[in-house]
Amino acid sequence: MNTIGHMNGSSVEPDAMFKLESKGRGPASELAVMQEREDLVRRDFSCFAIWEGGRSKEGEIVEGIRRNFNILGDYNIFWSERNYNRNIQRLYQRPSGSLEFKGYDKKIGKPPFRFIIVEDLEPQYALIRNVSGNIELSNRNVVKKKYEFRAWFDKAYQVHSSNNYEEFIFQTSLVLGSELLAECLSSDVPIKKDIQKDLEGANGWRDWNEPFEILNNCVKYLVLRNFENLPVRTGCGDVDFLCSDFQKLASAANVYQKSGRPYKGTIDIAGNTIPVDIRFVGDGYYPCSWEKDMLERRKKHGNFFVPELEDLFFSLLYHCKVHKSRVSKSYIELLEEIAREKQWSWYQDVNVHDNVQMGGLLKGYLKSNNYYYEKPIDVGVNINKEVVGLLSESMFGERELGVFGKMAMKPVRLANKVLRKMRDQVKPSFNVIGKSIH
């Protein structure tokens, strides 16, 4: 029976060894997540926007809002023509590159628009299907009023609202910015202002602190690696994110996305154009379950999030051996440093350039955590076939299944082969995907 490394002088199987290391370190329980959400939304906020076409009945709409909710902030928002089209794309989380002004949007119209922040003292949440087709938990009270207002007009979508707390935070953080939003939510009296500003970061960011402040409000994310010099680093290398929603991160951080590959792009920081890769749950860059767990276990590093130490080690090792054809000296040193800090004796005297040895080590970690190799959606990601071959071997331990077990697995292997072939033939196209205005 193959073993890797030694612990207390005795051989330990990889899966058992990693299981010991991982004990008590699983993702947060559903109850804990629900409790965290309950604490966040103890007060329930929403926002309404009255676009140009809806302002003919502006007084009636504002009065209808006032009768049903507490108005906390009432703003007239002026956008520049330069950033007008991109503001819309970002606000509605649509993939976007560079957008020149080509006239006012038929639904939004010409600025200014009325932007109202409210508190609902008796929110009623239910699963509701929005006009984009998404079925999501939404405040029934707010959605009902939005549709009531929209029915007053022949032209569609003249009034907008957020549907839930997450959408409220995303949109108000971008429209107002963190300072104005905090001022509104903490004020004892309603705030009324005219504001001439585009979405946050519309003209680039002064430093990394600014986009991180917005991202911390808007999306669950982490910086995968090479974060030691962030947020002061501006002009060297790219930045690799892992997140729950690539489009939400791209829109929040004002990433100029590549057509057809919207999970890649650039971000402007202090006048520098920084390449970014946005990895997301389900993209196959890492196993999907592992991506979810990494986000649940993430740690705060200054004012942004990074993987916890064990995830950093194994995600970096996976990146070095699965995504790369060679391992850089800096990564080797970092892996050794983490192993020493964690006192992992099984990592002593390893040869990180040995594909078989490292493939067996990675397989042991994946197997012990019920993670399974997945082919990345990003066709530009390099694949080390020798290591991937080891990771792709049956996790069911066919040697232990016996003759009949192996026979039973044949249809499964054949089906997987057919599915992989179909997946390779049907390449996803993202550049035409966008979210409808709702």
Q: Is the pTM of this model over 0.85?
A: no
Q: Tell me the residue ranges of DSSP E strands in 38-112.
A: 44-50, 70-78
pLDDT on residue 102: 86
3-state secondary structure of 162: coil
pLDDT of 101 > 60? The answer is: yes
pLDDT of 309 > 80? The answer is: yes
Q: Average pLDDT for residues 54-76, to the nearest whole number?
A: 98
CA 19 to chain centre: 28
CA distance 109 to 364: 57
Give the pairing of strands 70-78 and 256-258: unpaired
Angle subtended at Cα 395 by Cα 392 and Cα 399, rounded to the nearest 5 degrees: 110
pLDDT of 33 > 60? The answer is: no
Closest CA to 247 of 95, 73, 416: 95
pLDDT on residue 169: 97
Confidence of residue 395 (pLDDT cuts 50, 70, 90): low
User: Are 246 and 263 spatial neighbours (Cβ–Cβ below 8 Å)?
Assistant: yes
Q: The tokens of 88 are what? A: 């819309």
Longest dimension (CA), the chain: 80
Average pLDDT value for the chain: 85
CA distance 380 to 181: 40
Q: Average pLDDT for residues 167-175, to the nearest whole number?
A: 98
CA distance 365 to 289: 13
CA distance 431 to 177: 28
Q: Which residues contact 346 (CB under 8 A, 6 or more apart)?
A: 4, 5, 6, 7, 12, 17
If you average pLDDT over each of 19-23, 94-98, 147-151, which comes out highest? 147-151
Closest CA to 380 of 213, 261, 233: 261
Lowest mean pLDDT among 182-196, 222-236, 245-259: 222-236
pLDDT of 228 > 80? The answer is: yes
pLDDT on residue 99: 79
Start-to-end C-alpha separation, the chain: 58
